[in-house]
Structure 1
Amino acid sequence: MKKILFLCTGNYYRSRFAEIYFNWHAKQLGLAWQAESRGLAIDANNPGPMSRFTEEHLAGLGIPFDEYRRLPIDAAHEDFETSDLVIAVKEAEHRPLMDRRFPKWLEQVEFWKVHDIDCATPAEALPILEEHVAKLLQRVAG
């Protein structure tokens, strides 16, 4: 089983959505890929284990997420060592965090441009993330 690591700032909203959305579709397609997600700057003030926007959007798509209810997880070197592909969801936000915390792994990271809630509404950002993940699924399916 190959592993994808999705990164965002808090591992609460975007990376969690990408992880769950990818895993659900990869299972439906019978792909030997599994996604995990981590945060590069965890915020302990998040209300609960996962963004309500992530939960609402997944529910609207009919994708179950109960098994993914957990508190955000901070990225660690082991996450990069065990991943076949690493994707950070917003380059402008995550490249500096990667450079500061994990410079050894910076060149292996693929960067997307999916805004956080301060720059785009969930109704704008999550469909863009869906498109990116759909293209990724096609790519790993070969």
Structure 2
Amino acid sequence: MITMPHQPSTVLFLCSGNYYRSRFAEHIFNTYIQDMSLSWIADSRGLIVDRLDSNLGPISRHALNGLAERGIPVPEPPRFPIQLLESDLAAANLVIALKEAEHRPMLTERFPQWSDHVEYWHIHDVDLALPTNALTALTREVTQLIQRLHTQTT
């Protein structure tokens, strides 16, 4: 009998442009989860990547700086933002939108059947919070998420 390797569960982080907050959360999660021997992996997408012209490259300098401060490398070359598709939502075991006031309306517009199946956090974008404050809050939320997932499996 051939046994197939176990696929890790996926948490999908969402933000508007998949440029700053969701990318930071993805990298923090994937680094921190390594020490927990949990079978989870993070990915990220943007809700309105196709409508934005403000992404100035593959990943925000704020995200890169925050990751560097925490000793977390970003694979080279970093990938560009990816637009969320319904198949991404269907494939994820857990979907987290990083700011409810901003992202619930976007989900309701684009994927109305999914908006109530998403966990919402309250992490401000750079227009409302300094990156150091937002990334500290995001690190705390990701750490709490990993602890919650660990508790659920033990």
- Same fold? TM cut 0.5: yes
CA RMSD of aligned residues (A): 1.0
Task: Confirm or deny that 1:106 pairs with 2:115.
Answer: yes
Instruction: Give the SS at the match of 1:18.
Output: helix
Amino acid in structure 2 at the alignment position of 1:27: Q
- 1:34 corresponds to which residue? 41
1:71 aligns with 2:80: yes
Provide structure 1 residue ranges, at least 5 long, that are not aligned to the other structure.
none
Q: Distance in 2 between matches of 1:44 and 1:135?
A: 33
Which digits, 9 at most, give the CA deviation of each residue in 1:109-131, with x for residues without a partner? 00000000000010110000001
- Aligned partners of 1:81, 1:106: CA distance in 2, in Å? 12
Shift of 1:9: 0.3
In the TM superposition, structure 1's runs of 4+ consecutive aligned residues that sit over 6 Å from their partners are none
> What are the within-5 Å matches in structure 2 for residues 1-142 of structure 1?
1-42=8-49, 43-67=52-76, 69-142=78-151
Q: Residue 5 of structure 2 corresponds to which residue in structure 1?
A: none
The count of residues paired between Structure 1 and Structure 2 equals: 142
Tell me the amino acid that sits aligned with residue 18 of structure 1: A
Q: Distance in 1 between matches of 2:77 and 2:96?
A: 19
**Inter-partner Cα distance in structure 2 for 1:67 and 1:16:** 14
Unmatched segments (≥5 aa) in structure 2: 1-7
- Equivalent-residue separation in structure 2 for 1:134 and 1:45 (angstroms): 29
Larger Rg: 2
Q: Which whole-Å CA distance do the structure 1 matches of 2:140 and 2:76 have between them?
A: 23
